[in-house]
């Protein structure tokens, strides 16, 4: 029997209608990435109905950190994620641009829920075990705690001892103000400790 763990995304939810987002939140993506992930979910669930696949759909929130022991780290071109771009600016001695400071959040910057990539690897293995009995698992994968861009910047400065200069630029199209997991269901089947944002940042130090 086919078993599949699909890497989906909180981007399928679109604009948060509540402070935290549960798996029952409407899926109304506001950017092409979120739409593509939702389409992937729909195709996989069709296959499950037609062929009886055992399936886990994991809706990641923002993945951070690296597996330092294995020498594995995030690499995108172009890089769009906040933490790698802060690190890139820091190493190059360049200014970091905050994309928008007029969002409806406490400090005006976007809020995201960060989950460590090494934790996520363990979550995948646990999901494979879980679908043996459930058959279908649709779950968020997040800590249930959000950090704004400025809070991430402060955590970076705490871990690295300094941070790059920053300036405020315009918003980027398709960036929801806040994406934070309601992690109750996730923690019910994956109860193991998760790394903090600071722990993930420490993994990025040379």
pLDDT at site 76:
73
Would you say residue 169 has pLDDT above 80?
yes
CA distance 157 to 72: 23
pLDDT at site 23:
98
Cis ω for the linkage preceding 78 (within 30 of 0): yes
| Residue among 48, 47, 190 at smallest CA distance from 130 | 190
pLDDT at site 90:
94
The DSSP code sequence of 137-192 is EEEEES-S-EEEHHHHHHHHHHHHS----EEEEPPPTT--SEE-B--HHHHHH--S
pLDDT at site 68:
79
Q: What percent of the chain has pLDDT over 90?
A: 89
Would you say residue 150 has pLDDT above 80?
yes
pLDDT at site 20:
97
Helix (H, G, I), strand (E, B) or coil at 193: coil
pTM of the model: 0.91
Structure confidence at residue 154 as a pLDDT band (50, 70, 90):
very high
The answer for 117, left when phi > 0, alpha when psi is -120 to 50, beta otherwise, is alpha
74 versus 182: which is more confidently predicted?
182
Q: What percent of the chain has pLDDT over 70?
A: 100
Tell me the average pLDDT across 80-93: 92
Structure confidence at residue 80 as a pLDDT band (50, 70, 90):
confident
Structure confidence at residue 114 as a pLDDT band (50, 70, 90):
very high
Would you say residue 64 has pLDDT above 90?
yes
Q: Are 108 and 102 in contact (CB under 8 A)?
A: yes
Site of tokens 């899926």: 27
| Residue among 2, 1, 4 at smallest CA distance from 137 | 4
pLDDT at site 104:
95
> Mean pLDDT of all residues in the chain?
94
| Residues with active-site annotation | 33
Q: Are 199 and 116 in contact (CB under 8 A)?
A: yes
Please state the three-class secondary structure of 75-126 as a single string. CCCCCCCHHHHHHHHHHHCCCEEEECCCCCCCCCCCEEEEEEHHHHHHHHHH
Q: How far apart are the first and last CA of the chain?
A: 43
Site of tokens 């400790």: 193
pLDDT in tens, 26-51: 999 999 999 999 999 999 999 999 99
Delineate the domains of the chain, giving CATH numbers in brackets.
Answer: 3-202 (3.40.50.720)
pLDDT at site 94:
94
């Amino acid at each position: 029997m086919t078993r599949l763990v699909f890497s989906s995304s909180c981007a399928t939810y679109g604009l948060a209608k509540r402070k935290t987002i549960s798996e029952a939140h409407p899926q109304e993506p506001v950017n092409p990435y979120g739409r593509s992930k939702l389409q992937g979910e729909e195709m996989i669930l069709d296959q499950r109905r037609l062929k009886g696949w055992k399936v886990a759909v994991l809706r990641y929130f923002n993945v951070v950190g690296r597996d330092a022991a294995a020498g594995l780290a995030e690499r995108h071109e172009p890089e769009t994620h906040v933490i790698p771009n802060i690190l890139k600016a820091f190493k190059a001695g360049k200014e970091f641009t905050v994309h928008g400071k007029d969002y409806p959040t406490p400090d005006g910057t976007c809020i995201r829920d960060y989950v460590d990539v090494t934790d996520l690897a363990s979550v995948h293995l646990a999901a494979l075990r879980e679908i043996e009995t459930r058959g279908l698992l649709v779950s968020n994968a997040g800590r249930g705690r959000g950090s704004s861009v400025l809070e991430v910047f402060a955590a970076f400065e705490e871990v690295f001892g300094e941070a790059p200069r920053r300036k405020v630029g315009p918003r980027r199209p398709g960036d929801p103000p806040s994406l934070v997991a309601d992690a109750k269901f996730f923690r019910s089947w994956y109860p193991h400790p998760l790394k903090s944002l600071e722990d993930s940042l420490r993994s990025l130090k040379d």
